[in-house]
């Protein structure tokens, strides 16, 4: 893999990731008249739950559903300048122009003059990962070699961002589909380097600790062994990875992809594990797109909106936590979405309309 770092007009970093046999980058300059931005991000602790909430008012002005010929993630071309100065690229990663977290963040709120309230600068880093220069495509359309290049880019960013001062967890994810809330149609994902351990991760850390205290064993190792032994929820299994619908799935169609050898994060994967990942993951994404062929468009597969999220061990918890990718969709049938109703949004108590074992069977039926 070749890695080339450049600076955008406003000082943000852009990194190109290219195959080893690709020609050297020519170093196209960002010609846009951009001024350096200032982040207004801060984090505030909820006095009732103890959760950190990020306040980022400057994001109200971020780019929202631009037409295809004004996409900021496409390569720059004649008469149109984008976030990518070069006329083509393989994989590109750059600092978000409208970040929720940034290294230069400072506390801007008026604060609450009481000990129950606590605020801090929203330090950290937010990056955008562009999987391909092709606008009208998706991750599932990538070749195995391109998907591997994305994996290598994710790994590189995990290593670098984890080393930043105060970063507690590196979270990599892709949102796909307008129904999910995507505002830029170009195939891309994001990376958040959090200055705190996010609420869900904190609950998982606590649960893993309880399990260790009760059994003397690792929660994730036992969970994967149990799913592989039972097999009814296993969707896809390789030599180094296993994909299964979780026993207590929260979403209508939800799949977790684990390496068979527990590791804390992407940096700990071996070459053989990295080589197999694209084959299984691309197949999973293709199956998601074949899930819904009834209803409004009989016989025609519908692009499925999804969230794909890498969960990696936060700082100081590598011995207990496990790397895993969680993939889920909010679509429950061809013409119906699962909305988070009052019991879920208000109480975080999920109700799933699809039986996990039936979801696993359906995902096996739509195999390539």
pLDDT digits (tens, 9 = 90+) for 281-291: 999 999 999 99
- Written as six digits, the tokens of 30 are 């960002």
CA nearest neighbour of 102 among 84, 136, 127, 80? 127
pLDDT of residue 296: 45
- 2-195 architecture in CATH? 2-Layer Sandwich (3.30)
Per-domain residue ranges for the chain?
2-195, 200-365
Q: Is 200-365 in the same CATH topology as 2-195?
A: yes
Mark out the alpha helices in 231-294 (DSSP H runs).
Answer: 271-289
Which is more confident, 35 or 346? Answer: 346
Rg (CA), the chain: 21
Domain topology for 200-365 = HIT family, subunit A (3.30.428)
* Segment 211-244, tens digit of pLDDT: 999 999 999 999 999 999 999 999 999 999 999 9
- How wide is the angle at C-alpha 203 spanned by C-alphas 264 and 236, nearest 5°? 50
- How wide is the angle at C-alpha 349 spanned by C-alphas 194 and 175, nearest 5°? 45
CA nearest neighbour of 13 among 163, 161, 171? 161
* Segment 302-313, tens digit of pLDDT: 689 999 999 999
pLDDT of residue 56: 87
Residue 195 has pLDDT above 50, yes or no: yes
317 is catalytic: no
From residue 209, give the alpha-carbon distance in Å to each of 32, 51, 72.
Answer: 50, 19, 44
- CA–CA separation, 84 vs 90, rounded Å? 11
pLDDT of residue 300: 53
- The single residue of 188, 240, 256, 311 carrying the catalytic annotation is 188
DSSP-derived letter for residue 200 is H
Residue 187 has pLDDT above 60, yes or no: yes
- CA–CA separation, 190 vs 83, rounded Å? 15
DSSP-derived letter for residue 221 is H
pLDDT of residue 295: 46
* pLDDT-derived band at 63, boundaries 50, 70, 90: confident
Q: What are the backbone angles phi and psi of residue 282, rounded to the nearest 5°?
A: -65, -35
Task: Indicate the pairing of strand 336-337 with strand 331-333.
Answer: antiparallel
**Which pTM value belongs to this model?**
0.94
* pLDDT-derived band at 298, boundaries 50, 70, 90: very low
* pLDDT-derived band at 183, boundaries 50, 70, 90: confident
- CA–CA separation, 22 vs 257, rounded Å? 31
DSSP 119-188: EEE--SEEEEEE--S-SS--GGGS-HHHHHHHHHHHHHHHHHHHTSTT--EEEEEEEESGGGT-S--SSE
Which is more confident, 258 or 67? Answer: 258
List beta partners, residue 213: none
| 3-state class (DSSP) for residue 254 | strand
């Amino acid at each position: 893999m070749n890695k080339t770092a450049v600076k955008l007009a406003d000082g943000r970093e852009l990194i190109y990731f290219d195959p080893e046999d690709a020609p050297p980058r020519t170093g196209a300059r960002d010609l846009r008249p951009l001024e350096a931005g200032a982040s207004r991000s801060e984090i505030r602790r909820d006095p009732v739950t103890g959760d950190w909430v990020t306040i980022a008012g400057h994001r109200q002005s971020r780019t929202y559903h631009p037409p295809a010929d004004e996409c900021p993630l496409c390569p720059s071309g004649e008469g149109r300048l984008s976030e990518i100065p070069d006329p083509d690229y393989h994989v590109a990663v750059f600092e978000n122009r409208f970040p929720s977290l940034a290294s230069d963040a400072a506390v801007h709120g008026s604060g609450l003059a009481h000990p129950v309230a606590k605020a801090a600068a929203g330090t950290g880093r937010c990056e955008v990962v562009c999987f391909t220069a092709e606008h009208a495509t998706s991750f599932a359309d990538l070749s195995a070699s391109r998907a591997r290049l994305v994996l290598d880019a994710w790994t590189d960013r995990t290593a670098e961002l984890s080393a930043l001062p105060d970063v507690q967890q590196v979270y990599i994810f892709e949102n796909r589909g307008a129904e999910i809330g995507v505002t830029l149609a170009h195939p891309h994902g994001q990376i958040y380097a959090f200055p705190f351990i996010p609420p869900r991760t904190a609950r998982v850390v606590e649960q893993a600790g309880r399990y260790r205290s009760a059994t003397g064993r690792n929660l994730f190792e036992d969970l994967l062994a149990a799913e592989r032994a039972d097999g009814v929820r296993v969707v896809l299994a390789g030599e180094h990875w296993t994909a299964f619908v979780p026993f207590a799935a929260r979403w209508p169609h939800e799949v977790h992809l684990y390496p068979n050898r527990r590791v804390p994060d992407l940096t700990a994967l071996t070459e053989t594990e990295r080589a197999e990942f694209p084959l299984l993951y691309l197949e999973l994404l293709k199956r998601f797109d074949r899930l819904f062929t009834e209803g409004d468009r009989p016989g025609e597969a519908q692009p499925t909106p999804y969230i794909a999220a890498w969960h990696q061990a936060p700082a100081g918890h590598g011995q207990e936590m496990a790397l895993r990718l969680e993939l889920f969709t909010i679509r429950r049938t061809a013409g119906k979405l699962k909305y988070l109703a009052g019991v879920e949004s208000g109480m975080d108590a999920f109700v799933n309309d699809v039986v996990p074992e039936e979801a696993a069977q359906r995902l096996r039926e739509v195999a390539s």
